[in-house]
Chains A and B, each alone.
Chain A
Amino acid sequence: GAGVSQSPSNKVTEKGKDVELRCDPISGHTALYWYRQSLGQGLEFLIYFQGNSAPDKSGLPSDRFSAERTGGSVSTLTIQRTQQEDSAVYLCASSLPRLAGGRSYNEQFFGPGTRLTVL
């Protein structure tokens, strides 16, 4: 079946320009996460959408970053006035959090990422 897809796979932009990154989660997954990973670093949580609840934006590094999730499916991460330190791989993941047999399950399925380079 189709996994999580992201577009574009690579984006090179000039400092100060705005960029939009897109994520198509797995159909039926209620949770969607955005992370970024700088070279050689771990994953940095950015934002989390769960169903119709207000998103958890606690990881967004500045007000230049925003994200939307339309119709509980596709999500767009927007970075305004990009800076060189925004260069990273932006990963999207979706999941279907649930409880079963007394255990909670929240396996993250990751997209291939968008490699953003800000010149």
Chain B
Amino acid sequence: RKEVEQDPGPFNVPEGATVAFNCTYSNSASQSFFWYRQDCRKEPKLLMSVYSSGNEDGRFTAQLNRASQYISLLIRDSKLSDSATYLCVVITRDYKLSFGAGTTVTVRA
């Protein structure tokens, strides 16, 4: 079983729609969680950290469910520029990172 699993999508949504997707992780000792964004043929860049209490950054909301071992990302009022692959990242206490394979989101006009 992979350490981090994501629905690859693609999620095709119209502008202005809300899209949400999850990422599950297998290591219960995982300590830190992040969402990264990767545009086509570009390097990944940090989108946001995920905190236990959940957190928002503008139109983006991240949630962590430790009991069920998943994190989620919700994008409200989708923009064309949100089209990208979203990578889930999980870090254990010894700072080892595991990346999910990514969820592709395509926002259409």
Q: Which residues of A contact B (CB under 8 A)?
A: 31, 33, 35, 41-43, 45, 48, 50, 56, 91, 97, 103-108, 110-113
Contacts and interface: CB of A to CB of B under 8 A. Distances in A.
Given A42-B100, A91-B43, A103-B51, A108 B89 contact: yes
Contacts of A43: 44, 87, 99
B99 A104 contact: no
Dominant secondary structure of chain B at its interface with chain A: strand
Nearest to B99: A43
Contacts of B42: 112
Say whether chain A's binding surface is mostly helix, strand, loop, or mixed: strand
A33 B96 CA distance: 9
B29 interface: no
Contacts of B51: 103
The 4 closest A-B pairs by CB, nearest first: A42-B101, A110-B43, A43-B99, A104-B32
Interface of B: 6, 31-32, 34, 36, 42-46, 49, 51, 87, 89, 91, 94-102
A112 B97 contact: no
